[in-house]
Amino acid sequence: MSERAAPFYCPYCGDEDLRPSEEGGHGAWECRACARAFKLSFLGLLARRPAAGSPQGGAS
C-alpha cells in the first residue's frame, strides 16, 4: 500500500511551505507562509455517470 498524498500548496495563499500539524490530528496541515491550519479528508467515491454520447447516456 502506498503513502497518502500530501498537498502541494496552501488552499488559502498558494504557498508551498506546508508542514503536517501535530495539533490537528490526522490530515491536518500548517502553512508557514500565512499561518493558517487546515485539514484534508477523503469523503468517498462518486458514482460514475454514463457519457452523454454513450448508448446508456440518454442522448436520443
Tens digit of each residue's pLDDT (9 = 90 or more) over 6-40: 899 999 999 999 999 988 888 899 999 999 999 98
Q: What is the DSSP string of 12-60?
A: TT----EEE-SSS-TTEEEETTT--EEE-----PPPP---TTSTTTT--
C-alpha gyration radius of the chain? 18
Confidence of residue 53 (pLDDT cuts 50, 70, 90): confident
Is residue 42's pLDDT more than 90?
no
